[in-house]
Structures are given as C-alpha cells and as structure tokens.
Amino acid sequence: MIKHISSLVAILFFVASCQSQKEVIKPENNLADQQEQTIRYINNNPKLVVGLVVDQMRYDYLTRFYNKFGQGGFKRMMNEGFNCKNNHFNYVPTYTGPGHASVYTGTTPKYHGVIGNNWYDKATKAMVYCTGDSTVVSVGTASSAGKMSPHRMQTTTFADENRLFNQMQGKTIGISLKDRGAILPAGHTANAAYWFHGQDEGAWISSTFYMKALPKWVSDFNISETAESYFKEWNTLYDISSYIESGNDKNNFERGFNGKKYATFPYDLAALKDENRGFDILKATPYGNSLTTDFAMAAIEGEALGKDGITDVLTVSFSSTDYVGHNFGVNSKEVEDTYIRLDQDLERLFMYLDTHVGVGEYTVFLTADHGAVDVPSYLNSVKIPAGYISNTDRKVTFETFLMDTYGTKDIVENISNNQIFLDRVKVKALGLKLADVQQQIANEQLSYDHVAKVYTAATMNSTNYTHGVEALLQNGFNQKRSGDIIIVNDVAFISYSKTGSTHGSGLNYDTHVPLLFFGKGIKKGYTLQKTEITDIAPTLSALLGISFPNGATGQPLEFVID
C-alpha cells in the first residue's frame, strides 16, 4: 500500500511539474515550436547577435573622433558595454578577406585558408578570388557579380555553429557592400548573404549558393530608389573648421573623384556619378554605410530576425570606410566625416534594434578587418621614415638574378601578395633542391632596398615562432596555399599610389583595431590586456553555449561575459 501511495505521489508531482513547465515554455503542437521555446527557456540567450565589422578602422579613430560622436553610437557601445582597447590581428596579411574570415572563424589563414583577397592557386596555376565560385549563378543581376560563395573558406564560423546547435532553426543573414564582407562572416550554412552591385544597377544581389530568387523584401528594397536618394551633395556634417582632428582639406595626399579637380568638399555626387562608375561612387562616400544600414534594418524586418526564442545572427560589414580611406587617406577630412556619419548610422541601427528586437534582448560586437597606414608621402612631409616600392624595378633586378643564377626566369611561377611561388617541376628538372632555391632567392630579395625580412616556406614549416612578425607570418602561412618565399617590407613602405592609404602589414597601424561588445550577456568595462581578433568567435560561442568554430584557435574573453 505504501509503495502504491508513493507511486501515486510521484505521478502527481510529475504531472504538476509538467503543467508548471507548460505554463513557462508554452509548447505548441509543432515540435519545432516546442524546441524553440525550450532552448530559450533553458539558455536565455539573446534573440539576435549582430556582428559589425568596420572596414579599415584603426583603433585610434575611436579616441581621435570621440568628441564628435553622439551618445547613441560608438559611445553607447563604449559606455554601456565592454571596450577591449588593446585588440590586434595576430597574423599577416591584414586584408579584407582574411580579416572577415578570421573574425568569425576564430582562427587565422593558417587554418581557415583565406590567405588574401586574391591569391595564386598552385593547383590550377591561376589567380583566384577568395569568394569567387564558377559553379554558382548570380541572383538579382545578369552580370557575373553574383558568382560567389564561401567554398574556399575551410572552417566554420560561429554563425555556422549556432545553426548546427539549434538544428538550422536560427537564421543567419550576411550584409555588406563587398561580396567578401557579406559571404565570409555568414559562413557555409547561412540563409542568405547580400552584397551591393553598383555600376548602372545599384541593387543588392546574391547567388544560387543561397537561393534561386531574391526574397520579396529584397526586390522591394531594390526598386524603392533608396540607393538613388544618396546621389546628392556630400559636404561635412558639421562646419569644416571644427574638424581639427584631421589634416587640411586641400593637400597633395588624396586622390579624389574623376571629374573634380581637387579632392575638397563639397562633392556633388549626382554630377560626378557618370565619370565614377555610376552607383559605385556611393561606396566611396559615407552614404554607402547609410545604404548598408538601411538594408540591414530592412533585413531585420523582412527576415523577422530576433522575433522568436532561437538566436539569429546578422553580420554587417561597413565597407565605405575602406573605400574612403584608400581614396583620401587616414588623415583626411573625408575620413573624419565618414566616421562621424557612421556614428549616426550606428545610433539609428541600435534604436531600430531597441524597437524591433527589444532593449536587452540582443548582443552586438564591433571590430574591424584591418587598419591602415598614414599616407607615406604625408609621413615624409613631417619627417617620419616612409616611402614607396616599385615592383617593376624589383622585377627587372630579380629577373636578371634568375637568368644569371639558373639560366631561366621560368623557375618562378608567380609573384603576388609579397610572396614568390616557384615552379617545383622546373626546379626538379634542373636538378636543384627546393630548399636551396628558396634560400638563394630569399638572400637575393633581402639585398633589395626597403626589404626588411625574407622567410622561406621551409623555415615556416620547420620553426615555431611565438612572437614578433615571424609569428604573425606563420599564423598567416597556409602550407597548401602560400608561396615559397615571403617578403616583409620596411615600416611604412608600400607598393601603392602616392595618394590614399592602404594596409596589409603586421605593424600596429594595420593590426590595432577596435573591439567593442554590448548588449545582453555583456559586462560593462574595459581592458588594456592584449586581446586578439581570433578571440571574438570563441567569446560569442561561449556566450551562446554552443560549440566553438571547428578550427578556432582563439580563447573566450571571460572578462567580457556577464
């Protein structure tokens, strides 16, 4: 009798417990709905994670332009969230493709395989583009601009792991003016990635890797003439005399736009667009970031992101900052105005998230894919060592060396991205040892002006570096894809035009970038402890309670998580 009474009590307790749980998680007949509510009930994760990458953003832009920012953009993240003030890239080369891949995979080109924006493919003997894919078809345009996918990225992103964790129920959407800025962050399992095709179309497009046709909300956005609305005057947001954080508006260090004699404010974009590839001119103005923000908000609504209990991921890359930096340079009034206006776009985006997802229901991080060097000709003008490299002159000298030493130039297949690729079949046919040829060429290159260091693939494969540029080179070295010889130029010496800024090195101006977190699950504070770009994805994975990306080498920043 006691046994039966005990059993009855246990059954009643179980029923009461289930009834209580039902009231909390509100299960529906649909199993997916039950899983959705249960996941949120158990984990209490943010409804939406928003990853923001600002292309070519140096860390010092946060401090240099601080007094020009409002309270709702960069300052909101810094004051309400966590600021990692000593955040760096831990590899070379610091380019856009590797940068976006590394932020979201939590590892370096050594493992994810994106060793540049373009690189020489040793198997096909041709240059390849990091997201180029001839097996897919453009969606939203008849041009080849949509023939893109993440197939060359060899590891998962934290967005991929989030989708795997929740049985593909959470959504992932990637957005950027640049295809690589949209595709690589969103990962392999993304529901969609969208990028902007300019020229005479001005449309957001995708590829058949993701879909057969654009969703209605994207088509509606494309015909809304939102892009056309930005063909207007670009002048400084505030009185230009107040822009004391940047150099003179008229100088010799900026390229500007075709059709305008001087690179000075204001810029009549409607009048200049025909000489500057139509809609593409918007990319090199702050309005490209505004257009990206418009489209990101349309995506939140169109895809109902953050509307249920399963975490969605939205990746947004603001690319106009890179185009403006390349065109006008780090110290330009144009760069300052672009960041002041980006700050307003961030405020607009955060207010939209507050309304459509809910205050305290989303998590945001902001970083960059690389920094940039001050224009070397400007640095020279203030007596700082810097300069330019002529690849043509180097090539002539190098080819003379090849003929004198090996009797042929054909021993070298390709020179690109500061790497030399050897024809290994030719090396063998000449009866030479590969390691000896690598070292001979390295010694020759080291004798050239403004070459600081040279390393061979044999050295990269046999030596374990733990610090310095050597460690950065090794983290960027992929055995299958990288070259036989790697060249490091002198500090602030670049192969580029004498106007505008560029990037790619392992020096602080290229590696030191912002890292801000704020929103649900994030502590308030800051650190001067060194953090690395590869720590971001593991931190987000830890916050969400999901698996780390499968190749991740970074570590969770536990001091960031509340």
Residues 407-448: tens digit of each pLDDT: 999 999 999 999 999 999 999 999 999 999 999 999 999 999
Kindly report the backbone phi and psi dihedral angles of residue 315, in degrees, each rounded to the nearest multiple of 5, phi listed first: -110, 130
Residue 395 lies in a domain: yes
CATH number at residue 410: 3.30.1360.150
Catalytic residues: 96
Residue 182 belongs to a domain? no
Please tell me whether residue 537 adopts helix, strand or coil conformation: helix
Q: Which structural domain, as residue segments, surrounds residue 416?
A: 387-494
Report the interhelical angle of 96-105 vs 536-544 (nearest 10°): 30
According to the model, what pLDDT value does residue 73 have?
98
* Nearest residue to 154 via CA among 214, 102, 203: 102
Alpha helices in 107-168 (DSSP H): 109-112, 158-165
CB distance 469 to 453 below 8 Å: yes
Distance from C-alpha of 108 to C-alpha of 99, rounded to nearest angstrom: 9
Is 327 a member of any domain?
no
Q: Give a yes or no: residue 189 inside a domain.
A: no
Instruction: Check residue 31 and give its pLDDT.
Output: 56
Helices (H), 26-89: 31-43, 60-64, 74-80
Of all helices (H) and strands (E), which one includes residue 464?
none
First to last CA, the chain: 51
Q: Is residue 418 part of a domain?
A: yes
How far apart CA 348 and CA 175 sit, in angstroms, is 17
Q: Give the separation between CA 67 and CA 151, rounded to whole angstroms.
A: 43
Whether 38 is in a domain gets the answer yes
Domain boundary among 441, 464, 494: 494
pLDDT < 50 positions in the chain: 1-29, 38-42
Q: Hunting for tokens 């080179």 — which residue is that?
A: 473
Number of domains in the chain: 2
Q: Does some domain include residue 417? A: yes
Strands 48-54 and 312-318: parallel
Written as six digits, the tokens of 120 are 């020489």
CA distance 89 to 95: 11
Burial of 559 (0-12, 13-18, 19+ CB in 10 A): middle
Predicted confidence at residue 453, as pLDDT, reads: 98
Strand partners, 554: none
CA 226-231-235 angle, to 5 degrees, is: 120
> What's the whole-model pTM score?
0.92
Domain boundary among 494, 520, 541: 494
CA distances from 225 to 93, 274, 294, 310, 320 (A): 38, 17, 12, 33, 19
Among candidate residues 189, 208, 182, the one with its CA nearest the CA of residue 295 = 182
Distance in angstroms (rounded) separating the CA atoms of residues 319 and 500: 16
On whether residue 392 sits in a domain, the answer given is: yes
Which of 363, 215, 224 is closest to 302 using CA atoms?
215
> What is the reported pLDDT for 206?
98
Q: Which of 475, 494, 513 is the last residue of a domain?
A: 494
pLDDT per position as a tens digit, 360-409: 999 999 999 999 999 999 999 999 999 999 999 999 999 999 999 999 99
Query: What are the structure tokens assigned to 473, written together?
Result: 């080179």
Q: Specify whether the CB–CB gap between 320 and 50 falls below 8 A.
A: no
